[in-house]
Amino acid sequence: MAGQIGSLLLVVVRSLLAVVIGLLLISLITELIEFGVVTALHGAVTTDQAIYFEIRNRLPVILFKFVYNGVAALTGGFVAGWIAGRKEIHHGIALALAQALALLWAMTVSPYAQTTPLWVWLVLLVEMTVGIVGGAWFYYQRKGKQQAVT
């Protein structure tokens, strides 16, 4: 009985960690790259939000944002699947739902909601959802192929 409870607890902890670490990893990747891009284009770190958002909302920067957010989503989904160790796609869906809720909050009630064009928020919402589940699916496929070989 104690062994079953311990096993169940491990599954729950891994599931929670998969989603939390996936979210943190996605945020870390996207925020560091965005900060680096804005700093590079400005020539120095800026604490002026108007300057920061003006640079970040330039079309070439937004297009690059879609690239690195896609990479972050795939990476987060892949890592979530790896940490979960089972039902990888389900964990990818859970992570995608958590990320979608965070984006919906950011685009509607966050103090920074108006700093990003609505169309960008909507593209990110779709892109991140698909990318996260895709990353988890990729891990699932990779894991299956490795198990078939061994």
pLDDT digits (tens, 9 = 90+) for 108-138: 999 999 999 999 999 999 999 999 999 999 9
Average pLDDT, the chain: 94
Alpha-carbon separation of residue 84 from 14, 90, 98, 101, 124 (angstroms)? 5, 9, 15, 21, 25
CB 137 within 8 A of CB 87: no
Q: CA–CA separation, 78 vs 18, rounded Å?
A: 10
**Amino acid (1-letter code) at residue 53:** F
Q: CA–CA separation, 138 vs 142, rounded Å?
A: 6
Q: What is the pTM of this model?
A: 0.90
